[in-house]
Amino acid sequence: NVCQFLSGEVESGTRRKVKRLLSFQRYCHASRLLRGLVPHTPGSLHLLDDDYLGQAGHMLSKVGTWNFDIFLFDRLTNGNSLVTLMCHLFNVYGLIHHFQLDMVKLHRFLGMVQEDYHSQNPYHNAVHAADVTQAMYCYLKEPKLAEQLSPLDVFLGLMAAASHDVDHPGVNQPFLIKTRHHLASLYQNTSVLERHHWRSTVGMLRESGLLSHLPQWKSIYPIITYRGTYSIFSLTPPRQDMEQQLGSLILATDISRQNEFLLTFREHLDNQDLDLQLASHRHFMLQIALKCADICNPCRAWELSRQWSERVCEEFYRQGDLERKFDLEISPMCNQQADSVPANQIGFISYIVEPLFEEWYRFTEPSLLSQTMMGHLHKNKACWSRLRYAQTSLETQTHPQIDKLEPEGEGEEGESVP
C-alpha cells in the first residue's frame, strides 16, 4: 500500500546517512586543504582546492551571470555543484571569516545538505538547490539590495536557498495529506514540506556543529552592513535567532502563500514605504528574493528553462502514476495524458511567475537583470504557446484521420496507422 511504499524512505534515509559519512571521510582523505596544506596567501580562507580547478573554476568566475549553466557546472564538479558553489560564495562574501566558521564543519554541513537531496527526483534535487542558490546570489547583487545587506542577511539568504527543499520526497503536500503521511500529521497539514525542510536543516546545523561556537542566548552586537557599521545595537539570541530566521525564509517558499506575499510586496511598492535600513524590511525582501529564485526557471534562457520545465513535469507525472496505481484522485498537472508540458508551463507562468516578477521588476527600477529576465519570460511563454498550438493542431488533425481510416479500412494490410 501507499504507507509501505513511503516507508521505504526511512531505509533509504539510513543508507544516505552512511553514504554521507563515507563521502565526508573520502573528502578528508583526498583534500589538500583538510590535510593542512592551506593556500599560501596570508589570511586566505579559500575552500576550493586543486580538485575544483580547470573548467569548473572558470565557470565560478562567471557565477554572477544570468546565463550560468548549472547542469554543466554539476557535471564538471562530479555532482558536487551545491557544495562547490556554496563554498565559493561564502568565500566571495567573507562569511567564513566574519562568522569565524570552522572550515571542516562547514564542508561537513554542506555535504550533509547536498546528500539529503534525493538524486532520483527529476526536479527537487541538489542541482535545483544549486540553481536557486546561484539565482539568489544574482538577486543579492542587485544594486537596490546589495548596499543595504548585512553579512547576516547574506548568510541567511544563501543558506536558505541551498537548503530550502532538502529531503524533498518528490511528491507535493496534497499527496502527503491524502496518503496520511506521518509528516502531514506532524505538521498538521500546514506547510508540511517547508517545515520539514527547515527542521531538517536545523538538525544538520546542530549535528555538524557549524554554529556551535556562537552564543545560544541573548547578547548585544552591532548591526553591520557591507557599507560600514551603524551606531545601532540589537538584542538578539544569535544561534536561535538564525535558526528562526532561516525557517521564516524557507517557509516563505510555500506556494500556497504566494498571494499573501505578492499582495504585501505590491502594497509596499505602491506606498513606497520599503525601508531597507530596517531589519524586518530586509528580511521581507530576502523572502521575496528566495521566492523569485525558487520559481525563476521560466526567466532563464530557453535551453535551460526548457530542461527545468521537462524535469518538473516528469516529477509531476511520476506522482500522477503513483496516484493512479493506488486508485487516488490524480492531482492537477500530474496527469500525463491530460496535462501537457506546454499547458502546465503556460499556466504556471501566467498565474505564478509573471505576477511576482512584474513586482520584482518594479522594485529593481528596473535593473538590467530584471529586464533580461522579463525578456526571457515573455519569449519562453510564447514558445510554450506555439508548442501547445502545434500539439493541439496535430491532435485535431490526427484523430479524424484515425476515425476515417479505421471504419473504411483504406490502409494496406499490416500497415500501422499513426
| Residue range 164-214, pLDDT digits in tens | 999 999 999 999 999 999 999 999 999 999 999 999 999 999 999 999 999
168 has binding-site annotation: no
- Please give the C-alpha separations between residue 24 and each of 5, 12, 76, 290, in angstroms, as whole numbers: 29, 18, 19, 29
pLDDT at 237 exceeding the cut of 90: no
Residue given cell 521560466 in the structure block: 298
3-state secondary structure of 233: strand
164 has binding-site annotation: yes
Identify the pLDDT of residue 276.
Answer: 98
127 has binding-site annotation: yes
Identify the pLDDT of residue 399.
Answer: 55
Angle between helices 126-140 and 81-93 (to 10 degrees): 20
User: For the segment 359-377, what is each residue's pLDDT rounded down to a tens digit?
Assistant: 999 999 999 999 999 999 9
125 has binding-site annotation: yes
Contact indicator for 239, 216 with CB cutoff of 8 Å: yes
Identify the pLDDT of residue 9.
Answer: 53
339 has binding-site annotation: no
Identify the pLDDT of residue 392.
Answer: 86
Q: For a pLDDT cut of 70, what percent of the chain falls above it?
A: 77
Q: pLDDT band at residue 34, thresholds of 50, 70 and 90?
A: very low
Name the residue with higher pLDDT: 106 or 16: 106
173 has binding-site annotation: no
Q: For a pLDDT cut of 90, what percent of the chain falls above it?
A: 75
345 has binding-site annotation: yes
User: For the segment 254-307, what is each residue's pLDDT rounded down to a tens digit?
Assistant: 999 999 999 999 999 999 999 999 999 999 999 999 999 999 999 999 999 999
Identify the pLDDT of residue 216.
Answer: 80
Distance between CA atoms of residues 215 and 121, nearest Å: 38
In angstroms, the first-to-last Cα distance of the chain is: 38
C-alpha cell at 310: 521537462
Distance between CA atoms of residues 66 and 297, nearest Å: 11
Identify the pLDDT of residue 238.
Answer: 83
pLDDT at 410 exceeding the cut of 50: no
Average pLDDT over residues 101-120: 98
Identify the pLDDT of residue 3.
Answer: 53
Average pLDDT over residues 233-256: 85
pLDDT at 349 exceeding the cut of 60: yes
Average pLDDT over residues 305-315: 98
Q: Side-chain half-sphere of 327: how many Cα atoms within 13 Å?
A: 1
Residue 225, strand partner residues: 228
Q: pLDDT band at residue 16, thresholds of 50, 70 and 90?
A: low
Distance between CA atoms of residues 173 and 220, nearest Å: 40
| Contacts (Cβ under 8 Å, ≥6 apart) of 52 | 60, 77, 84
pTM of the model: 0.82
* Low-confidence winner among 68-72, 133-137, 233-237, 283-287 (lowest mean pLDDT): 233-237
Residues marked active site are found at 124
| Contacts (Cβ under 8 Å, ≥6 apart) of 103 | 33, 34, 45, 47, 96
* Low-confidence winner among 40-54, 282-296, 325-339, 386-400 (lowest mean pLDDT): 40-54
Residue-averaged pLDDT of the chain? 85
User: For the segment 55-105, what is each residue's pLDDT rounded down to a tens digit?
Assistant: 999 999 999 999 999 999 999 999 999 999 999 999 999 999 999 999 999
pLDDT at 160 exceeding the cut of 80: yes
Contact indicator for 179, 6 with CB cutoff of 8 Å: yes
Residue 228, strand partner residues: 225
Q: pLDDT band at residue 52, thresholds of 50, 70 and 90?
A: low
| Contacts (Cβ under 8 Å, ≥6 apart) of 372 | 66
